[in-house]
Amino acid sequence: MTAAQFPGLSRRGFIGLAGAAAAGVALTACAGTGGGGEKGGDANTITFWSNHPGTSKEFELELIDRFHAKHPDLRVDLVDAGKNYEEVSQKFNAALSGGALPDVVVLSDVWWFNYALNGTIEPLDKHFGDAGVRLDDYVDSLAADYLFGGKHYALPYARSTPLFYYNKDVWAKAGLPDRGPESWPEFDEWGPRIQSVVGEGKLAHGWGDAKNYLAWTFQGPNWTFGGAYSDGWTLKFTEPGTIAAGNFLREMIHTKKYAGIKPQIAVDFGAGVIASTIASTGDLRGIKKNAEGKLSFGTAFLPHPNGPGVTTGGAGLAIPARISDERKVNALRFIEFITNAESTAYFSQNTGYMPVRKSAVNDPSEQRFLAENPNAKVAIEQLPLTKSQDYARVFVPGGDQIIGTGLEQIGLQNADPATTFANVAQQLQTIVDRQITPKLPK
């Protein structure tokens, strides 16, 4: 399957088509396709299911209050739908099989296309005019991430990239320049110096575990070693570059002993337990709060000496297909409002996520905020250096956890990278052969 076979689709649209086809079997059994949702319901009450990305509930409530002020005839009911994206998706999936559906639901980068394939979330384009949506004001690359078959199935909301966070106080004591490393080999030279400063019981660098998206944060570093999880549907775990990246991870943890895998990297970094980490832009607010009065920190691009060393992630907002058109339009009015220039600037300033509207960057409040908070500016400046995620993580059912578990085995158990990655590849290839290849368009 190649993009040339689908000339009507953009590259990201083709990726969405391929990924959705791949995920078909995974959601065929679990995404409801019957009459789980009602066409009726109160069109003037908008039910919003969210996990409050980046501990954002208070800011979502503020945006809802602002929406009420502008649309007094509409009410929004914010529902705690789970503590993370996975739990929201599970709750939504259950509702599709029988239960009351929300009007708006948060779906992450690895979930939305499953529902698009099954026809359980609404293609939004035909409602843009009625809801006042100006698609051309959304950041092109972020809006295009939800393009499948020429239609948009969500709009960007809590969008992020991984950032390199570093403890400036430790950096200064280690005699390092006030910046992130330009390459991972350079950081490998810095690691022992940083470790000598932080001392026993602390680490120069902490990686998140599989549950905290290790497969996502390690994807960019893998690219800089010439590796990849996949190239299209061709797995690349046994390639020399990927094995070299795995060996780097193993050696920094088990040989040089300046790094480790930690289940709470944002908390540990803010507390000074680890001197650097890769975490989401969405962690910026929490880290700033935890670090206040304890340490000074900076953010930087992920090392990218040989090309893109970072990808994007996060979540968008989608609308169920099986609610009435009136509910869909009102739901989209709400989505448009909480992602407009003023709202996305407010949300970004308080969480660390990127503004999703082009005009937001020129908003006076955003300009002042970025001038006063250079750490928040890094994600926006890094955006042109990102590239789309490898299929193996986002399109293969369970791929994120399979890859993350393999990386954990290297980091926690000192497992051999070549052997571990071969096993990861075998697991993923079985899924591709059984669940994906038969579903791909011929």
pLDDT tens readout for residues 112-123: 877 887 789 999
Q: Is 257 left (phi over 0), alpha (psi -120 to 50) or beta?
A: left
Q: What are phi and psi of 152, to 5 degrees?
A: -95, 125
Residue type at 368?
Answer: R
CB atoms within 10 A of CB 438: 11
Q: Does 223 have pLDDT greater than 90?
A: yes
Q: Does 37 have pLDDT greater than 50?
A: no
* C-alpha distances out from residue 37 to 12, 78, 114, 278, 315, Å: 30, 19, 18, 40, 23
Q: Does 17 have pLDDT greater than 60?
A: no
Cα–Cα distance measured from residue 230 to residue 242, given in angstroms and rounded to the nearest whole number = 10
Q: Does 79 have pLDDT greater than 50?
A: yes
Task: Pull the structure tokens for residue 38.
Answer: 């009602």
Model pLDDT, residue 162: 94
pLDDT tens readout for residues 42-63: 889 999 999 999 889 999 999 9
DSSP 73-106: T-EEEEEE--SSHHHHHHHHHHHHHSSPPPSEEE
Model pLDDT, residue 87: 96
In the chain, the percentage of residues whose pLDDT exceeds 90 is 68
Q: Residues in the chain, how many?
A: 442
How many distinct helices (H) and strands (E) make up the chain? 20, 14
pLDDT tens readout for residues 350-391: 988 999 999 998 889 999 999 998 888 898 899 888 888 888
Q: Would you say 59 and 66 are in contact if contact means Cβ atoms under 8 Å apart?
A: no
**pLDDT greater at residue 417 or residue 6:** 417
Sign of the Cα torsion 143, 282, 382, 386 reads: negative
Model pLDDT, residue 441: 58
Task: Select, from the ranges 10-24, 180-194, 287-301, the one with the highest average predicted confidence (pLDDT).
Answer: 180-194
Kindly indicate the confidence band of residue 38, based on its pLDDT and cuts at 50, 70 and 90.
low
Average pLDDT on 19-33 reads 41
Q: What is the pTM (predicted TM-score) of this model?
A: 0.80
Q: Would you say 142 and 312 are in contact if contact means Cβ atoms under 8 Å apart?
A: yes
Cα–Cα distance measured from residue 66 to residue 62, given in angstroms and rounded to the nearest whole number = 6
Q: Does 3 have pLDDT greater than 50?
A: no
Q: Does 440 have pLDDT greater than 80?
A: no
Cα–Cα–Cα angle for 364, 370, 375, nearest 5°? 165
Kindly indicate the confidence band of residue 435, based on its pLDDT and cuts at 50, 70 and 90.
confident
Cα–Cα–Cα angle for 57, 58, 61, nearest 5°? 85
Full 3-state SS string of 422-434: HHHHHHHHHHHHH
**Strands laid side by side in the 205-208 sheet:** 259-262, 205-208, 276-280, 162-167, 297-300
Average pLDDT on 255-275 reads 96
Model pLDDT, residue 439: 65
Q: Would you say 150 and 8 are in contact if contact means Cβ atoms under 8 Å apart?
A: yes
